């Protein structure tokens, strides 16, 4: 019997992968399908969140991005749920010359980046402001709808019990709750996010940009929803939605895409990302034998397939081509 503490994207995906290998799996979570994954926008951008010195993490992100097409297709086949996997790519957009310098810095790590003028950007997305100075196109950045992924994972039929996990578990994948269960340095990092609704899809690409030095991203869904995000705040376990954060997100979004001022604001919400001291996930076995899969910070959606496969390999003793040494839990004990 495999018992998993945590019924978010990571825990449910691990359970599904284990069940597909013939294992008997039970997931425990008081609010299954909630957590950071329910709030997330779902960008699959393996190069966009990387800082200098994080090359091992970048390799893991790219490995997981490569698994997403098959992962999404398998989920759809197993459950009949289209998880919204889209491949239009991301437009990096700048409103001013200073913003353009910031966009170039942010996009520097991305591969196969195509520089674009303001006119070229507006030809791709006519809704962009005529004041846009320039930017770039990243065809390798994709997206998925995390809420649909959660729905699909729950519909796979894995056993989910809406209760706290028993003391003895096989896997801890409880996001910010993993600290209390393991003692590992996983902290909550607050992120506030908005959802808007348009009569029809106003843009096709993910828009990542700067407007008067304020950063924002806008993620379109096929049904006309726009996800606007996201803040990054060290506020402990606070999940209050604040007026200041709403303004900080809407102002640059409306500067870049003026037409959104006419859209309905349908949801304001805040979630808690599980952060670690080095911004990398914790994947591996503790001295007690418990396996941990947590600390995915801003990359939980992107890292879902590779984490699920890695943990299933650890449980079954299967070989893997993944190098998980940089993400072992003992790195914090060594520090």
pTM of this prediction? 0.96
- Residue 97's SS3 state is helix
Flag whether pLDDT at 108 surpasses 60: yes
Dump pLDDT digits (tens) for 310-326.
Answer: 999 999 998 888 899 99
CA distances from 178 to 3, 62, 275 (A): 15, 25, 11
Segment 151-167 shows an average pLDDT of 96
As beta bridge partners, residue 208 has 92, 217
Flag whether pLDDT at 93 surpasses 50: yes
Flag whether pLDDT at 109 surpasses 80: no
Domain 90-139+187-274: give its CATH architecture: 2-Layer Sandwich (3.30)
What is the rounded CA–CA span in Å between residue 48 and residue 25?
34
CA distances from 61 to 92, 137, 306 (A): 20, 19, 8
What is the rounded CA–CA span in Å between residue 314 and residue 321?
12
Multiple choice CATH, 1-84+143-185+276-335, 3.30.2130.10, 3.50.50.60, 3.40.190.10, 3.40.50.300: 3.50.50.60
Segment 103-115 shows an average pLDDT of 76
pLDDT at 81: 98
Taken in order 176, 332, 284, 148, is the CA torsion positive or negative? positive
Cα–chain-centroid distance for residue 191? 12
Dump pLDDT digits (tens) for 196-223.
Answer: 999 999 999 999 999 999 999 999 999 9
What is the rounded CA–CA span in Å between residue 50 and residue 151?
29
Q: What is the DSSP string of 162-230?
A: SSPPPSS-SEE--GGGHHHHH----EEEEEEEEEEE-SS---SSEEEEEETTEEEEEEE-TTSEEEEE-
What is the rounded CA–CA span in Å between residue 51 and residue 42?
20
Spatial contact of 219 and 227, defined as CB atoms under 8 Å apart? yes
Report domain extents, the chain.
1-84+143-185+276-335, 90-139+187-274
Tokens of 185: 């340095």
As beta bridge partners, residue 217 has 208, 229
- SS3 of the chain: helix, strand, coil, percent, to 5: 35, 25, 40
Dump pLDDT digits (tens) for 22-61.
Answer: 999 999 999 999 889 999 999 999 976 667 778 899 999 9
Dump pLDDT digits (tens) for 264-310.
Answer: 999 999 999 999 999 999 999 999 999 999 999 999 999 999 999 99
Tokens of 334: 């060594």
**Phi, psi (5° rounding) for residue 91?**
-105, 125
Quick one: DSSP state of residue 236? Answer: T
pLDDT band at 335 (very low <50, low <70, confident <90, very high): very low
């Amino acid at each position: 019997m495999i018992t998993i503490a945590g019924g978010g994207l990571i825990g449910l995906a691990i359970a599904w992968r284990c069940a597909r290998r013939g294992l008997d799996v039970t997931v425990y979570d008081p609010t299954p399908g909630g957590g950071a994954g329910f709030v997330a926008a779902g960008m699959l951008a393996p190069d966009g969140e990387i800082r200098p010195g994080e090359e091992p993490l970048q390799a893991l992100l790219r490995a997981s991005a490569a698994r997403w097409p098959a992962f999404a297709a398998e989920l759809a086949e197993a459950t009949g749920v289209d998880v919204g996997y889209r491949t239009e790519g991301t437009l990096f957009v700048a409103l001013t010359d200073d913003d353009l310098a910031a966009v170039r810095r942010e996009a520097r790590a991305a591969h196969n980046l195509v520089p674009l003028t303001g006119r070229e950007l507006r030809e791709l997305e006519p809704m962009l402001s005529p004041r846009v100075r320039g930017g770039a196109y990243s065809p390798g950045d994709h997206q998925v709808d995390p809420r649909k992924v959660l729905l699909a994972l729950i519909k796979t039929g894995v056993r989910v019990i809406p209760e706290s996990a028993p003391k003895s578990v096989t896997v801890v994948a409880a996001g910010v709750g993993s600290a209390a269960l393991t003692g590992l340095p996983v902290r909550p990092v607050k992120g506030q996010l908005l959802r808007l609704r348009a009569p029809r899809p106003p843009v096709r690409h993910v828009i990542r940009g700067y407007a008067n030095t304020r950063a924002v991203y806008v993620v379109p869904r096929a049904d006309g929803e726009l996800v606007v995000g996201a803040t990054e705040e060290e506020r402990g376990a606070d999940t209050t939605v604040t007026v200041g954060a709403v303004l900080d997100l809407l102002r640059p979004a409306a500067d870049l895409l003026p037409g959104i001022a006419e859209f309905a604001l349908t949801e304001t919400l805040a979630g808690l990302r599980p952060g670690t001291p080095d911004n990398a996930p914790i994947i591996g076995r503790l001295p007690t034998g418990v396996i941990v899969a947590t600390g995915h910070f801003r990359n939980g959606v992107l890292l879902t397939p590779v984490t699920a496969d890695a943990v299933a390999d650890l449980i079954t003793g299967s070989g893997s081509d993944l190098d998980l040494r940089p993400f072992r839990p003992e790195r914090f004990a060594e520090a």
